[in-house]
Amino acid sequence: MVSQDIAERARILREQINHHSYRYYVLDNPEIPDAEYDRMFRELQELESANPGLLTPDSPTQRVGGLPLSGFSQVQHRKPMLSLNNAFDEAEVTAFDRRVREAAGQDYIEYEADPKFDGLAISLVYENGVFIQGATRGDGYTGEDVTLNLRTVAAIPLRIASDNPPALLEVRGEVLMQHKDFEALNDAQRSKGEKTFANPRNAAAGSLRQLDSRITASRKLTFFAYGMGEVQGFKLPEKFSDILDQLKQWHFPVAEQSEVVKGVDGMLGYFMRLGNKRDSLPFDIDGVVYKVNDLKLQDELGFVSRAPRFAIAHKYPAQEEITQVLDIDVQVGRTGAITPVARLAPVFVGGVTVTNATLHNEDEVRRKDVRIGDWVSVRRAGDVIPEVVSVMHERRTSDAREFVMPKACPVCGSHVVREEGEAVARCTGGLYCPAQRKQALLHFASRRAMDIEGLGEKVVDQLVDNGLVHNPAELYKLGLGKVANLERMAEKSASNLLAAIDKSRSTTLARFIFALGIRNVGEATARDLARHFGNLDALIGADEEALMRVTDVGPIVAQSIAQFFGESHNREVIEQLRAAGVQWADETARSSKIGHLSGKAFVLTGTLPNMTREEAKERIEAAGGKVTGSVSKKTDYVVAGTEAGSKLTKAQELGIPVLDEEGLNNLLDQ
């Protein structure tokens, strides 16, 4: 006697599975990830297996998928397109192999192993080599006639490549969309203000089931064959792997990842190898399929209920799961980018337990309409950061709260700003913000900024992680003892680093401005600012209107500069740097003497004996000249050192004056 609680649970599961089958197979608009559906289906299977009285003819475990759409005519499959039983761990694969071996009376079995595509299963019918009809799987027995749409898929042959084709051939396979085509389609949808697709499977299904085949033709679908249905006028080979080889010969695309393997060890080895490649494949897969390779043995094993006994699908850990958003806060990146992050109820997805998922930016939060308290679908693929794919709006409660972007950085308290035309909001803390500390130090020490040799990423990591340096000014307070105690830093290396830091105290105003790491201010803009204002105090005191009088400085750059110097934290660090002895000569003291090369274009090539290219470039630019990377008719001088290459040859061909180091010095000293 079945208890009332178990019977009620079975009834609820049937209702849920039927609902989600309809959403998935008929509407192509699933509400839940595949893993959630699989769990409900397995639970109902187990209940019915333990309680045979629960089994009814209309149970979803007794059929495949849903009914076809009324917009297409129906097609009766010549042979049923039944789905496969699933295995989710090694024990279930081992049990499958044991059942096959026992039924066959053999010590080991040879299997054909293939990727399990995450697309839309279809059947293609050819008469005398000509494609006449294509249909979706539908409920496994009756599908939808999508012949006109399938004709637009370039990967599907319209005629079999054979002088003697079968009288009738039914090819089974999968229509799908590759990652690059999926991204291009969503970009196009966004540009037209139309709905985007959640994943490539939905995009492929939605494209194939358009009533207007011209829409299907405009989208890049592909196809892979993985078997045959009804065949007349052709003798089948003895091995299933030979069927795939025959399909290749007839010019049907077949997955190059297919392999013939032996026994359970061969199956599990294939599963692991393909899993390691999964994230680099051009299309989505959600598992692998093992089929007994001996076709005679396949016939002997036959079918059970809704699935064959000779094949099984081995599923990878789900890459998409459902969980609840407990909160939404923000993270501050190394460059100051403010990223909304969903804090989630722990969920196992993609092989790990996930508690956080990125929401990318404020616009994305609004577009997906993610709120605190919502139930959401979360996706994780390989090493990719988990992200919220979609919201289950039907489960939203009245107390769900909208996310509000903070106006102040949660790490340092500086203003959060979002520039016009940008999707990302940023902290303006710059030199002060702890979240940006490592990036600020690395930029400050870089060759084109303060040029502190030896202050690389590993050293900066240790200085910050050990609490020795909190901003660039504190570099100049370091002592030999603390630096020498760093990992892999002997006393000599520490002395060299401290000497490089000390040397950097003497710099140029342009280098110092660039070293500050002001957003949108590169080397060229830093030089223009130095020349225009002449000294740092004038630059700090300039408003946006004054800043826009500088060459090539527009509203966005002017706003970035004003915001940077408007933060008291940043001005405080600058004063600390000055107090530490960082100094430079004001540009105004030299500008009247060295602007005589204004408007002249130089190209540097080869190695100069007594100065680096960077030093030569600085001197030329300080005199008003401009250094470019290639020789043209607009070039005024080419400065050539030893081992000068094609640039020197081109200069000679164009008759452009060529200077050595002495000639450059003479020109600069005029």
Burial of 368 per CB tally in 10 Å (0-12, 13-18, 19+): middle
Of residues 203, 202, 171, the one with CA closest to residue 185: 203
Of residues 460, 463, 461, 465, the one with CA closest to residue 479: 463
CA neighbours closer than 13 Å in the CB half-sphere of residue 369: 6
Strands (E) in 60-215, as ranges, are 74-76, 86-87, 110-117, 120-127, 130-136, 142-144, 168-176
CB 304 within 8 A of CB 45: no
CB atoms within 10 A of CB 601: 18
Separation CA 661–CA 429 (nearest Å): 43
Separation CA 477–CA 333 (nearest Å): 27
Separation CA 358–CA 380 (nearest Å): 11
Cα dist from 469 to 207, 331, 460, 476, whole Å: 56, 22, 9, 10
Element (H, E) at 311: strand 311-315
Among 79, 116, 315, 626, the one annotated catalytic:
116
Q: What b/e string do you get for 341-356 counting C-beta neighbours within 10 Å, with b at 16 or more? A: bbebeebebbeeebee
Is 195 annotated as catalytic?
Answer: no
- Backbone torsions φ then ψ of 601, nearest 5 degrees: -105, 130
Of residues 85, 66, 236, 47, the one with CA closest to residue 136: 66
Query: Helix, strand, coil shares of the chain as percentages rounded to 5?
Result: 40, 20, 40
Of residues 381, 627, 600, 438, the one with CA closest to residue 527: 627
Q: In sequence order, what are the residues at sequence separation of 6 or more whose Cβ sits closer than 8 angstroms to the Cβ of residue 236?
A: 228, 243, 295
Separation CA 526–CA 295 (nearest Å): 73
Separation CA 569–CA 231 (nearest Å): 77
What is residue 79's three-state secondary structure?
coil
Separation CA 580–CA 588 (nearest Å): 23
Q: Which two tokens stand for residue 232?
A: 């007349």
Separation CA 309–CA 304 (nearest Å): 6
At CB < 8 A and 24+ separation, what contacts does 543-552 make? 550/525, 552/524, 552/525, 552/528
Of residues 154, 198, 178, the one with CA closest to residue 30: 198
Q: Report, as residue numbers or ranges, the catalytic residues.
A: 116
